[in-house]
Structure 1
């Protein structure tokens, strides 16, 4: 009996060890990198009197760099914090995801995802982030986080204009005086200028300004940009994004003339008078204009137009026994050419 009991105990112990060894802690399945989308990096928002609209670009690649063919869904996460309880260093209390349908990824064009909500409460700060999913278990890393304070926002600026000047664009607009519910603005107001090359993806440039004028500097002449202006209502030190104006376009234009030519000399020839000058050192000189006046004329007039590769002109339309005064200007390659001042005069009697 003792041996049977010992044998049974050994079997029981072995079975117990076997069961214990087969019971491991289960973790969430890890999807392969080949199906996990890259993080969305351009999540942005716009606010209107109806609420907020989120926009973002469909990711085109996985985190491994392979092409994606479709996105199953987007997960939109939202957090709401009363402004009086907001803590800049505290974790953001995101709620459960709101699912937005995905779609086919276009390899040629960038598709845009959109989410819109009007469920906003005045005096609260909102946070949003988005993930892209190719399946229920393959989600991208978190997108960038956007945040704003909801208050009845100010209306969009009106009368927005943009004027191109030398290497700059001057953007101007009218003062905003009303909120979107027609009430009068009672908080301080700032304006944020946004810029785009293609009238599509606008980005903020510079810091918000109090004035109704902004100069976009250090631009390349000849390039066209599009501009929008957004009102920002400052509520207890927090910017509440307001209405966004329509877009206007402007092109920075070259308004700087070349330096005036130097070394002007006039020499008699058998057929008339030759005028020589030193070429301008400016890189964008397109040509030169030659001016002449007689002794009894106060204003010189153009008598010749010379290509920028030359620095000589012969005046064959001169009467004998007269005093003549010659000067030269340089002009550049701008669409509307900029002309230099006239050089010093070279005088000669013919």
Structure 2
């Protein structure tokens, strides 16, 4: 009888325990770090951009992502620089995904314009994402850039024909780097939502003909000079606007 009682107790204990899987450490639920942080200069500002992490540290789809914290530090001369020092980085922006304010979401990337930068200074950025419960990811990759004097605004003119619009521009002398060309932008009328970059690479000539036009529509063009400084491309101030439309065939 005693043996049967012990067997019964053992059976009940086994069934009460149930089947348990491997333990999942809590840190595996935090967002994976941002891995494609980048920074570029346009006019006098730096544009810092990054994608949201799609997975958590455990490889599962990330849940309850609430926002990002963007940090910046000036890079000091060799021998003085200390990235790991507690005062090296300054929090410059907390991004709330429910209220982006002046942060834009474009082409699956968040874009922050940082205008508080000084010519000749190198800045380094990092981003940390956080969830609604406050848990944070580890820091992203670092992105750094040296602020330089941006090129001035070109002077732009447009000439229409029956087949397209010919744009021609002049670029004033630049104070830093060498001119690499110009980017050409176009929008349809006053609709800023149609603004597009027509030239993925800078146009080295001082002219560009737009042949991809719809008859009857009016287009507005601008250009920005691009200089190369120490291997980086820097976009300058925007030109005057020039309008153009297909001329009626004679």
The alignment's TM-score, normalised by the length of structure 1, stands at: 0.41
Aligned partners of 2:216 and 2:143: how far apart in 1? 34
Q: Residue 224 and residue 57 in structure 1: after superposition, are their counterparts in 2 closer, same or farther (change >3 A)?
A: farther
Given that 1:193 and 1:230 are in contact with CA atoms closer than 8 Å, whether structure 2 keeps it comes out as: yes
Aligned partners of 2:102 and 2:186: how far apart in 1? 16
Number of matched residues? 202
Aligned partners of 2:210 and 2:76: how far apart in 1? 36
Aligned partners of 2:43 and 2:211: how far apart in 1? 28
Q: Residue 170 and residue 229 in structure 1: after superposition, are their counterparts in 2 closer, same or farther (change >3 A)?
A: same
User: Are 2:72 and 1:74 aligned?
Assistant: no
User: Are 2:164 and 1:168 aligned?
Assistant: yes
User: Are 2:120 and 1:121 aligned?
Assistant: yes
Unaligned runs of 5+ in 1: 1-23, 83-92, 180-184, 256-335, 340-350
Number of the residue aligned with 2:226? 232
Deviations 1:295-323 (A, max 9, x none): xxxxxxxxxxxxxxxxxxxxxxxxxxxxx
Q: Which has the higher contact order (CA 8 A, sep 6+)?
A: 2
Number of the residue aligned with 1:244? 237
Given that 2:166 and 2:209 are in contact with CA atoms closer than 8 Å, whether structure 1 keeps it comes out as: yes
Which SS does the other structure have where 2:43 is aligned? strand
Aligned partners of 1:148 and 1:225: how far apart in 2? 34
Number of the residue aligned with 1:137? 135
Given that 2:37 and 2:51 are in contact with CA atoms closer than 8 Å, whether structure 1 keeps it comes out as: no
Number of the residue aligned with 1:151? 148
1:257-272 matches, within 5 Å, as: none
Aligned partners of 1:41 and 1:224: how far apart in 2? 37
CA RMSD, aligned part only?
A: 5.1
| 1:241 shift after superposition | 1.4
Aligned partners of 1:41 and 1:204: how far apart in 2? 25
| 1:205 shift after superposition | 1.3
The alignment's TM-score, normalised by the length of structure 2, stands at: 0.53
| 1:45 shift after superposition | 4.2
Number of the residue aligned with 1:54? 47
Aligned partners of 2:216 and 2:242: how far apart in 1? 12
Q: Residue 223 and residue 103 in structure 1: after superposition, are their counterparts in 2 closer, same or farther (change >3 A)?
A: farther
Q: 1:199 aligns with which of 171, 181, 192?
A: 192
Which SS does the other structure have where 1:156 is aligned? coil
Unaligned runs of 5+ in 2: 1-22, 56-60, 78-83, 105-111
Larger Rg, first or second structure (1 or 2): 1
Q: Residue 42 and residue 199 in structure 1: after superposition, are their counterparts in 2 closer, same or farther (change >3 A)?
A: farther
| 1:106 shift after superposition | 6.1
Deviations 1:258-287 (A, max 9, x none): xxxxxxxxxxxxxxxxxxxxxxxxxxxxxx
